[in-house]
A and B are shown apart, each in its own frame.
Chain A
């Protein structure tokens, strides 16, 4: 039963790898964003280690696949979902596998780029123990899964709403602002820290907080 979904993941990974130029470009964008934050942070603080924080949060943002919400919304509104209904594959699972395989490739690529770039810029290694790495990997996968589920749910709202674009962007923006993507949540005023416990924000905040 599950075998077909593993095969779907395998196929989707192969398809993602086919579009190499896009992967390179995404890698370049991630590299640019790290440099960008390095320049902003070097202007305001001497504590270079905060770049690791940014690298970790951006790793999750870049690896997550918000486009899945757009895709589901498009397929529902254009009635293209029908083609899935006649197949012996669950629509939600197929979308989840599609997002998971793309996310996995991006995560590996961005991890390599992010780790090497930040190590070069900061020159201090943030890894202190093996448990820390395992904990980080576990949380990053959980965070990405939460993000994936939320995007699928937003996409499915298209059954009732004409336009879910704003909700997609609201989700993205609130994750950006309250997920600690611009500045660490620890420096937010006390009252605002309660937002961290919203599921989509928790997915971003917790993994990078292990650093």
Chain B
């Protein structure tokens, strides 16, 4: 109960401090919305030309983009601190989180907020709405939004934990993250062989973007189970990986403020 209260207070404080930056806030909000819409414009041209890719039409692309964007939006608004994990490890600044009697992962995650991610969240909702799936299968799509948010959290945690093993890896991890999202936001239905194996094992984005859309298309319960089970497993693995990495952490004895 105390942890929950702490999470909400931290999020509230972060949002309050971000809202003080009026012009910056609106500028970043607009830019992040435009950024998402640009991708869809390009895919629209693609689907205008090719119509269908391995069973997926433009509507399936929209709902997939929507699910991924909402997941990113939720995590970056409320748990943006987790994205800064590589930076904290690289600069030996984890100490302040280690000495507090709170869940360390959650403590890091709620330490920062990025309100500009509201752009991702709203774009995601709009895209899902336009796809038609949000209206026709509302509760299912909402479940997949939550699933996607958990997946994105796990992904940040998993990739961020690499910094315990690789020195000066902050920008490298950012690159890997970008490439992972690239894998997630292509028409997953076209993946076969090695690529399919990769998206289900090493960089398991398929649980966030492939299985939910396939479930919405075919209503086969197996896809739903694969998606939720895969995401849960990935979360557990990421947590485990983080704690293994934490044993390698070298304290810098520096106590910075959490701004």
Tally B residues with Cβ within 8 Å of A. Answer: 44
Whether A39 touches B35, Cβ cut-off 8 Å, given contacts A67-B174, A166-B28, is no
CB closest chain-B residue, reference A30: B179
Interface string of A139-163 (1 = CB under 8 A from B): 0000000000000000000000111
Question: Are B190 and A39 in contact, with the CB atoms below 8 A?
Answer: yes
List of A residues within 8 angstroms of B53 by Cβ: 40, 43-44
Known pairs A36-B186, A166-B116; A43 contacts B54 (CB<8 A): yes
CB contacts (< 8 Å) of B195 on chain A: these are 32, 35-36, 39
Interface residue A187 (Cβ < 8 Å from any Cβ of B): yes
Report chain A residues within 8 Å CB of B31: 166-167, 169-170
CA–CA, A178 and B43, complex, Å: 11
Are A29 and B54 within 8 A (Cβ)? Answer: no
Q: Kindly count the residue-residue contacts between A and B in the assembled complex, taking CB atoms under 8 Å apart.
A: 102
* A163 with B116: CB separation less than 8 A: yes
Number of A residues with CB within 8 Å of any CB on chain B = 38
Chain B residues contacting A162 (CB-CB under 8 Å) are 21, 24
Residues 22-81 (chain B) with a chain A CB within 8 angstroms: 24, 27-28, 31-32, 34-36, 38-39, 41-43, 45-46, 49-50, 53-54
B172 at the interface (CB under 8 A from A): yes
Select from chain A the residue with minimum beta-carbon distance to B42.
A177
Q: How far apart are the CA atoms of A131 and B41 in the complex, in Å? A: 35
**Complex-state Cα separation, A186 to B61, whole angstroms:** 22
B190 engages A67 (CB within 8 Å): no
- Is B190 a contact partner of A43 (Cβ separation < 8 A)? yes
Q: For window 210-232 of chain B, which residues contact chain A by CB distance below 8 Å?
A: none
- A173 and B166 in contact (CB under 8 A), knowing A26-B175, A39-B192, A43-B190? no
Are B35 and A29 in contact, with the CB atoms below 8 A? no
4 closest A-B pairs by beta carbon, nearest first, are: A67-B171, A177-B42, A166-B31, A44-B50
Which residues from chain B sit less than 8 Å from chain A, CB to CB? 21, 24, 27-28, 31-32, 34-36, 38-39, 41-43, 45-46, 49-50, 53-54, 114, 116, 119, 166, 168-169, 171-172, 174-176, 178-179, 182-183, 186-187, 190-195, 198
| Chain A interface (Cβ < 8 Å from any Cβ of B) | 19, 21-22, 25-26, 29, 32-33, 35-36, 39-40, 43-45, 67, 70-71, 161-163, 165-167, 169-170, 172-174, 176-178, 182-183, 187-189, 192
Give 10 pairs: A residue, B residue, CB < 8 Å, sorted on A: A32-B183, A32-B198, A43-B190, A67-B175, A71-B171, A162-B21, A173-B36, A177-B41, A178-B38, A178-B42
